[in-house]
Chains A and B, each alone.
Chain A
Amino acid sequence: MSRYLAPAGLEEALVALAGGARPVAGGTDLVVGVRQGRFPIPDDLVAIHRLAGFRGIAEGADGGLVIGAGTSHAEIVAHPRVTRDWTGLADASAIVGSPATRATGTLGGNVANASPAADTVAPLLCADAVIVCRSTAGERRLPLDGFATAPRRTLLRPDELIVAVELPAPAPGSASCYVRLEHRRQMEIAIVGAGALLRLEGGRVTAARVAMTALAPTVRRVPEAERILLGSDGGAAAVTAAAEAVAAAATPIDDTRASAAYRRAMAAVVTRRAIGGALARARGETVTIPASDTLFGAA
């Protein structure tokens, strides 16, 4: 016999969580997971789609962005600041599932679910995202880097809700890109994916972030690749070496989508395209969103 609550106020939701309820936002992971038998339907559910202030994107005073955890992928892709300054995130949200998945699925759900193939996490890692968590005990702000600890495991406590994802202002001259390899363009999950953020100053790379998707138990940054790019001219040699570093750091699995060997082989290709897309954007060139479509078939 399950219990259900759909409050408009955050406090009421947090009290329910403290009492053992499980949150549901769009339900695109939760309801599907229940039906596939991955876990039972939680006995006690608190729907968070009605929470005031939970949905929407606000500009921070410092030029950063605060994305409400209940914001849908469709709303993220439609936001002009996101498409201009956090282009890698737009690349990712634009390819989540189908139009229906993007209208219903939320950013908070994608992060909380902690799938090794979650598309928004690599670009959020590149953007130095901070996860804002709330419980009846108060607020915690956790860096996304390290937030996922294992497949479907995070640092979030059962009584905590992700309320927002904060993105600091992007540095001038920086740009980002997210690329995913898939069997078809839509309604897919990444075989492998890669996110990159590069800052170019006077022809030199002065900041670099590289993160890999579906290549490790969690989506994670690859510091080896970032070190190779940092201080380089962003030329072919550095980009290739960084992409090879991602392939070397990858610990992919065999599953129905692809073999581990194929994933490792494609890791370098996809990373090269993501870095190439970020560099092109940093130089002021246009790489249409989503980059996966644009760069498909690129060298």
Chain B
Amino acid sequence: MRYETSFRLNGTPVSVSVEPSRTLLHVLREDLGMTGTKEGCTDSECGACMVLLDGEPLNACSYLAVQADGREVTTVEGLSAPDGSLSALQRAFLAHGGVQCGFCTPGMLISATALLARDPDPAEETVRAALSGNLCRCTGYQGIVQAVRSAAAEIREG
């Protein structure tokens, strides 16, 4: 049995027919073509699959797509402006070496976006805690933490 599942994806209403056992990650990637969100562990461990659900970070690999019905989903594709220009956070990741292979980057950006929406001036420890569900095998994290703090400063200063 399939269930009609409707939600707002990066501000646009979408509707898909899904089996209840399918995860939000697979529906985003396979049915909706949103491949910015990555699949790493499929086990809630690495954070590559993170999206915002009603503004809160979510491991999409471990969430049933049908439970997104009626809600607001934001993927990395929704973080830049409609004309493609990058957000302050995205620019800071590039400027501070917060990206190497890029596989963790969508999830990192999602967690950091949720953090900055809540805390415009996070301490380094707060940034590290907010990103604790996101693993990176390349950067050593320093550039990522610096990027988040520098983007926060840029946003604060307008």
Contact = CB atoms under 8 A, between A and B. Distances in A.
Chain B associates with chain A: yes
Interface of A: 1-4, 6, 24, 27-28, 31-32, 34-36, 41, 45, 47, 49-50, 74, 97-101, 103-104, 185-187
A47 B42 contact: no
A2 B56 CA distance: 28
B19 interface: yes
A100 B47 contact: yes
B128 to A, nearest CB: 9
B34 interface: no
B62 A2 contact: no
B62 to A, nearest CB: 5
Interface residues of B, number: 31
Contacts of A3: 1, 20
Contacts of B66: 4, 6, 47
Interface in B29-81: 42-45, 47, 50, 53, 56-59, 62-64, 66-67, 69-70
B63 A99 contact: no
Interface string B72-116: 000000000000000000000000000000000000000100110
B114 A2 contact: no
B57 A24 contact: no
Contact of B63 (A2, A31, A34, A97): A31
A51 to B, nearest CB: 13
A186 B129 contact: yes
Contacts of B63: 27, 31, 104
A185 B132 contact: yes
B28 to A, nearest CB: 15
A21 B3 CA distance: 16
A42 to B, nearest CB: 9
A263 B50 CA distance: 33
Nearest to B59: A100
Contact of A4 (B1, B56, B59): B1
A74 B118 CA distance: 13
Contacts of B150: none
B21 A2 contact: yes
27 contacts: A2-B20, A3-B1, A4-B3, A4-B20, A4-B66, A6-B69, A31-B64, A32-B43, A32-B44, A32-B62, A34-B21, A35-B42, A41-B20, A41-B21, A98-B133, A99-B130, A99-B133, A100-B133, A101-B44, A101-B59, A101-B133, A103-B56, A185-B129, A186-B129, A186-B133, A187-B45, A187-B133
Nearest to B51: A100
B73 to A, nearest CB: 13
B5 to A, nearest CB: 10
B132 A186 contact: yes
